[in-house]
């Protein structure tokens, strides 16, 4: 006895399943763009800071970067505690500000410039972390080093 095999319906069924799957995937991708799921990614800011140790002090120097003009505030911690020290605008030791709770915040008319220095006193060891805050409200780690 010979059984008759009829495979005529297999190809159309597989074709319909594939078309439905492609339609669902395409609808999900379009919905992601329409509802803005991909727009929550932030941009990385670029500002360069270098450091050196002088006696028991750490000297941080701002070297610039494309996002320096919009930088508004720096928060500095050493070993997890707010840093103590002095901020010198453009390295001028007569024009200085003390770090208030480890924060350097400039006035509305002031801007951070290349050559500005921050002297952290009596902190020659520990992890130094500098977090920048920009005019758009974004915050980012600029400098992270253990001495």
Reported as a single tens digit per residue, the pLDDT across 52-109 is 988 888 889 999 899 999 999 999 988 888 888 888 887 666 778 888 788 888 777 7
Identify whether the C-beta of residue 63 lies closer than 8 Å to the C-beta of residue 48. yes
Domain membership of residue 23 (yes or no) is no
DSSP 3-state assignment of 99? Answer: coil
Q: Which of 103, 119, 99 has its CA nearest to residue 59?
A: 119
Q: What is the CATH number of the domain that holds 107?
A: 2.60.40
Q: What pLDDT is recorded for position 110?
A: 83
The CA-based angle 28-29-35, given to 5 degrees, is: 85
Residue 52 belongs to a domain: yes
125 confidence band (pLDDT: 50, 70, 90): confident
Domain membership flag for residue 19: no
> Is 88 contained in some domain?
yes
Task: Provide the number of structural domains found in the chain.
Answer: 1
Q: What's the mean pLDDT in 116-139?
A: 85
Residue 13 belongs to a domain: no
pLDDT tier, 50 (very low <50, low <70, confident <90, very high otherwise): very high
Distance CA 126, CA 113 (A): 26
The answer to the question of residue 11 being in a domain is: no
């Amino acid at each position: 006895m010979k059984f008759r095999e009829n495979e005529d319906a297999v190809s159309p069924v597989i074709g319909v399943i594939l078309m439905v799957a492609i339609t669902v995937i395409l609808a999900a991708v379009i919905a992601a763009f329409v509802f803005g799921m991909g727009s929550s990614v932030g941009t990385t800011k670029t500002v360069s800071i270098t450091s050196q140790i002088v006696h028991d002090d750490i000297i941080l120097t701002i070297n610039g970067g494309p996002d320096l003009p919009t930088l508004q505030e720096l928060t500095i911690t050493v070993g997890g505690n707010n840093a103590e020290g002095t901020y010198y605008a453009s390295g001028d030791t007569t024009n200085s500000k003390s770090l208030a709770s480890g924060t350097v915040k400039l006035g509305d008319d002031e801007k951070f410039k290349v050559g500005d220095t921050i002297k952290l006193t009596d902190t020659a060891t520990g992890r130094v972390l500098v977090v920048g805050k920009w005019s758009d409200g974004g915050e980012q780690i600029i400098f992270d080093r253990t001495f």
